[in-house]
Amino acid sequence: MQKAYTNIIQIAGDVITVEAEGVGYLDIAEITSRRGVSLAQVIRIDSQKIFLQVFAGSRGISTGDKVRFLGHPMRVATGDNLLGRIFNGNGLPLDHGPVLSEDLVDIGGPPVNPVKRIIPDKMIRTGIPMIDVFNSLVESQKLPIFSIAGEPYNELLSRIAIQVEIDIIILGGMGLKYDDYLFFKETLNKQGALSRSIFFMHTAADPVVECLLVPDIALAVAEDFALKGKRVLVLLSDMTNFADALKEISITMEQVPSNRGYPGDLYSQLASRYEKAVDFQGAGSITILAVTTMPGDDVTHPVPDNTGYITEGQLYLKGSIIEPFGSLSRLKQQVNGKTRSDHRAIMDMMIQLFASYRQAIEKQSMGFQMSAWDNKLLKYGKLFEDNLMSLKVNIPLERALDLGWQILADSFSPEETGIKRSIIEQYWPKK
Amino acid sequence: MENKRIGHIIKVNANMVVAEVAGHIIQNEVAYILHGTERLKAEVIRVRANRAEMQVYENTAGLKVGQEVEFSDELLSVELGPGLLGQIFDGLQNPLPALAEKCGFFLKRGVYLEALPDETQWDFTPLVKPGDKVLAGSWLGFVPEKIFKHYIMVPFALSGSLEVISIAASGKYNLKQSIAQVRNSTGKVHDVFLQQIWPVKIPICAYAEKLRPLEPLVTKMRLIDSFFPVSRGGTYCIPGPFGAGKTVLQQLTSRHAEVDIVIIAACGERAGEVVETLKTFPELVDPRTNKPLIDRTVIICNTSSMPVAARESSVYTAATIAEYYRQMGLNVLLLADSTSRWAQAMREMSGRLEEIPGEEAFPSYLESRIASFYERAGLVRLHNGLTGSVTIGGTISPAGGNFEEPVTQATLKVVGAFHGLSRERSDARRYPAIDPLISWSKYKGFIEQEKEDLGHEILRRSHEIFQMMKVIGEEGTSLKDYIQYLKGEFFDFVYLQQNAFDAVDEATPKERQVYIFNFIYDIMLAEFKLDNKQEALHFFQKLRQLLRTWNSAAWGSEEFKKIEEEIEIFLAARA
């Protein structure tokens, strides 16, 4: 019943322009070319001219090809049938299983009414002291991992995924290396987590703009599960690729770039995805962990910069450790007051002292004389790095706190730590 | 005869829609796009021949060429009247709790509810009698709203001297019942209601004159009040990179600031942060009134995933409500978080209008828009001689944390105080992360000027020595300089830094600030018997711990006095 149009009047970048009538903004179309059928989305309407971004790329599209508008926005199947399945960036199966078309929901649905949100207060324990003690992860948090290429961010993601208690894991891969995709699959499989996972995979070999749909699809599915009471963890890797795809389209559409070629609405675009993280009153929740690779380790690059303003903190992965400075969980205060009475004191003072340790290191490297205090700091920093900071450490929060006290006691006298007396009296290790 | 002007869509580009209209078009008028059963609100922002270019306050998915657009003849306006306090609105003044009741978890587009329910009855008491001469903004009577007398005023839109013809007797009235009639000099009679409508982008100026803001606004943040004070009716900005604590600072201010009313404009920021305010304010008690904080608060919230255009209007909505309460002789604090998101909303729209971009693609009118927003602050004398004030504090989220960017620079030109947050301070967990070396204020605080100056001097000197020590090492620094450095650090730790998670330390009232400041001032001037650096370091570490414990002791408590004595003894031993 939908009419097919064949008058493509312009092909520029991955955007084609076709003359058509009665087309809705953001509707989906199918383009049949010699390379097969590809999906496309309406991104601008100018009277008869309809601009479409073609997810499979415009390569090989002829001006005589057929464009068929489906008359609805992008939709994705939801429900338990998806569990254990692997799909591509358009929601089509990659695992030889059947195509799913039940319980279709529109992607990119409306925002949650703020008054229907609840204050997140459930800590997610990861067994990683740098997260549990210093930057506690909280259910419904949106937290990116800032990292440079080559850091073990995907390892960290998968480790968190299998160690935390959560009902469903949804992995959205954008420009993921095929090896990394296999790594995720194997790790989750080995830990028996594959049956509660869903993959939406866009690999580095796929057309760039195809990854634009991945976050929306992954989050639409997650939202459906969350509304049904499930606690969902969404892993997105890597959001910088997503932003780059946005950049490509906006340049093609001749939009004025704001900063290093990125569109002016980059913040809003990223925010509308990240803000899907939510704890529904009386239903489930969505927690988002995303990887943002920083070109040139530059945190002021527009993608990590805008991300940092949106997310509730960030984990800064550098030199294979979660860097204590720069890493921050904004929601930690919601949960770390209820764990153990020394949690906050340990968290604050260990980091302040670690800052002094870094200064002492600097001093040492410049060849200055080390004072007795500096030597204490050096000892402390080393103990901290080896016993708590290493990603190899895998211990519960309480043991990590005890270990923190031990490290302090091995290095300092109580008043040198600057911790309040009442806490010292209760927790300072007795020799 | 009603003759609605209708247009038809010819272009859709994200949240900009262009319609062709038969008949006239008014700049900034509100239009509704008819999409099936949905009516989507939009505002005309540019007119070209018979084409109206509109920013749509909703998601535009599914809109088609040819769909009808209805023009309303009205500018984007808000309802002003009793019932605003304690409310939570979106950027277009939709009450969010009522929307949640109606639509559930999600914000359904095209659903608009009344900001103030018409049928609520208010207990009106008249203040004037027929024959009285009044002006726009004059008080005609009042109704009780929470803890305030909510004055009912002559509509701000009227001009010249007016005469009261009739005034309602004491009793219960709803928002739609006329409570008075006034006649202007040409003999035209106007009805006055408990509620009035005002266009958000136009400031309310129904007062006698604007005054210089001189009286300090106490925020109970030591670093602000003692070093970079803000005056009632003044303006200030808080730029800072992400994670430096802008929002926490705003939240603390919204709780503790000594003002009558706080308007929070959460503009394009995280929903989670608004939720914290929404959920905690009804339970937190305002120590001055013993009523829940929410009773003195209005929240305008347009978080980052809500439609972008409404973000632009949200700061104006907030400013208008603030000005409205100022007309009642109240002190209002407007906190906008974050003005960068508001500027970005302008930038997005400007891009879609294909305007020639300025720096970083911001529109060329960015500066004038920012200036006119902050100019809505001010201390004013009303026609009846009383004063009221609107203080505006805006956060800025500069790209890359770089203060050279256009929004920060444009704001610095027009505000009276600058509280610059720094990454170094927040990384070192020194909160509030306001950097004392770069911040400034043009207002006068309650700490004696020379003492305040000396405080600045100590911090500057300490920093200089610290920088020097990096080059020449601790061993190359004299003991005198080293002690100077330690004093600065000590001052920073026990006075500038404040623990937001300590029930006592999070807010320091004026008297306590003055007392502690003077106490520390004496320490700063004192000479101590310290023989070497090791000893000096140890001395100040110990002193720091004592003062920190003191900071957590309640003002005037036994514990407070006990610790004070302990500190005196400790100091005397080295004097």
Best of A19, A23, A26, A45 to substitute, by most chain B Cβ atoms within 10 angstroms, is A45
Q: Note whether residue B85 is domain-resident.
A: no
What CATH number should be reported for the domain holding residue B31? 2.40.30.20
Extract the tokens encoding A296: 């040139």
In chain A, what residues touch B62 (CB-CB under 8 Å)? 24-27, 73
Q: Note whether residue B470 is domain-resident.
A: yes
Q: Please, which residues 300-339 of chain A have a Cβ atom closer than 8 Å to chain B?
A: 300-302, 305-306, 308-310, 312-314, 325-326, 328, 330-331, 333, 337
- Which of B441, B470, B490 is the endpoint of a domain? B441
Domain membership of residue B22 as a residue range: 5-76
Q: How far apart are CA A110 and CA B108, in angstroms?
A: 7
Residues B264, B396: one domain? yes
State which residue of chain A sits closest to B67, comparing Cα positions: A22
Q: What is residue B421's DSSP assignment? A: B
Q: What is the pLDDT of residues B100-119, one digit of tens each?
A: 999 999 999 999 999 999 88
Residue type, A241: N
What CATH number should be reported for the domain holding residue B177? 2.40.50.100
State which residue of chain A sits closest to B280, comparing Cα positions: A119
User: Which residue stretches of chain A have pLDDT < 50?
Assistant: 1
What CATH number should be reported for the domain holding residue B382? 3.40.50.300
Extract the tokens encoding B51: 């084409």
Q: Are B366 and B410 in contact (CB under 8 A)?
A: yes
Residues B425, B499: one domain? no
Q: How far apart are CA B134 and CA B438, in angstroms?
A: 48
In chain A, what residues touch B12 (CB-CB under 8 Å)? 25, 44-45
In chain A, what residues touch B243 (CB-CB under 8 Å)? 308, 313-314, 326, 328, 330
State which residue of chain A sits closest to B11, comparing Cα positions: A46
Q: Flag if A330 and B548 touch (Cβ within 8 Å).
A: no
Residues B387, B240: one domain? yes
Selecting from B100, B470, B534 the residue whose C-beta is nearest the C-beta of A115 gives B100
Q: How far apart are CA A220 and CA A78, in angstroms?
A: 8
Q: What is residue B295's DSSP assignment? A: G
Q: Is A71 near chain B, with CB under 8 Å?
A: no
Crossing angle of helices A153-163/A178-190, nearest 10°?
20
List where CATH 3.40.50.12240 sits in chain A: 78-335
Task: Please tell me the pTM assigned to this model.
Answer: 0.93
Cα dihedral sign, B220-B225-B226-B231: negative
Q: Are B148 and B218 in contact (CB under 8 A)?
A: no
- Which of B142, B161, B195 is the endpoint of a domain? B195
* Cβ contacts from A onto B, under 8 A: 214
DSSP assignment of B50-72 equals TEEEEEESS--TT--TT-EEEEE
Other C-beta atoms closer than 10 Å to the C-beta of A167 total 15
pLDDT at B571 (0 to 100): 95
Q: Note whether residue B89 is domain-resident.
A: no
Residues B454, B400: one domain? no
Q: Note whether residue B44 is domain-resident.
A: yes
Q: Flag if A25 and B399 touch (Cβ within 8 Å).
A: no
Give the CA radius of gyration of chain B: 27
CATH of domain A4-73: 2.40.10.170
| Closest of A299, A294, A290, A309 to residue A237, by C-alpha | A290
Residues B162, B228: one domain? no
Q: Note whether residue B95 is domain-resident.
A: no
Q: How far apart are CA B254 and CA B395, in angstroms?
A: 13
Q: What is residue A80's DSSP assignment? A: G
Extract the tokens encoding B64: 């088609």
In chain A, what residues touch B14 (CB-CB under 8 Å)? 44, 265
State which residue of chain A sits closest to B107, comparing Cα positions: A113
Give helix then strand counts, H and E, for chain B.
Answer: 14, 30
Selecting from B62, B109, B275 the residue whose C-beta is nearest the C-beta of A26 gives B62
- Run of H or E including B16: strand B16-21
In chain A, what residues touch B539 (CB-CB under 8 Å)? none
- Which of B141, B166, B195 is the endpoint of a domain? B195
Q: How far apart are CA B157 and CA B331, in angstroms?
A: 23
Q: How far apart are CA B262 and CA B331, in angstroms?
A: 9
Q: How far apart are CA B428 and CA B435, in angstroms?
A: 12
Cα dihedral sign, B557-B561-B562-B564: positive
Rounded to a whole number, what is the distance in angstroms from the first to the last CA of chain A? Answer: 83
Residues B171, B252: one domain? no
The distance of A188 to chain B (nearest Cα, Å) reads 31
List where CATH 2.40.10.170 sits in chain A: 4-73
Q: Flag if B243 and A308 touch (Cβ within 8 Å).
A: yes
Domain count of the fold of chain B: 4
Give the largest CA-CA distance in chain A: 84
Q: Note whether residue B96 is domain-resident.
A: no
**Whole-number mean pLDDT of chain A?**
92
| Closest of A345, A358, A353, A368 to residue A425, by C-alpha | A345
User: Which residue stretches of chain B have pLDDT < 50?
Assistant: 1
Q: Flag if B59 and A420 touch (Cβ within 8 Å).
A: no
Phi, psi for B126 (deg, rounded to 5): -75, 155
Residues B501, B414: one domain? no
Residue type, B271: A
Q: How far apart are CA A281 and CA A227, in angstroms?
A: 10
What is the CB-side half-sphere exposure of residue A19 using CA atoms within 13 A?
Answer: 5
Domain A78-335 is in which class? alpha beta
Selecting from B397, B545, B549 the residue whose C-beta is nearest the C-beta of A309 gives B397
Extract the tokens encoding B528: 């101590």
Q: Please, which residues 114-143 of chain A have a Cβ atom closer than 8 Å to chain B?
A: 114-120, 140
The distance of A185 to chain B (nearest Cα, Å) reads 32
**Alpha carbon A286 to chain centroid distance?**
12
Q: Which residue has the tokens 């004392």?
A: B436
pLDDT at A167 (0 to 100): 95
State which residue of chain B sits closest to A336, comparing Cα positions: B501
Q: Note whether residue B401 is domain-resident.
A: yes
Q: What is residue B167's DSSP assignment? A: E
Residues B233, B338: one domain? yes
Phi, psi for B120 (deg, rounded to 5): -55, 135
Kindly provide the residue ranges of all beta strands, DSSP E only, lying in A301-386, ordered along the sequence. 313-318, 321-322, 328-329
Residues B223, B310: one domain? yes
Q: Please, which residues 255-284 of chain A have a Cβ atom closer than 8 Å to chain B?
A: 255-259, 263-265, 267-268, 271-272, 275-276, 280
Extract the tokens encoding A177: 């290396």
Q: Note whether residue B203 is domain-resident.
A: no
What CATH number should be reported for the domain holding residue B533? 1.10.1140.10
Give the largest CA-CA distance in chain B: 93
Crossing angle of helices A266-274/B339-352, nearest 10°?
120
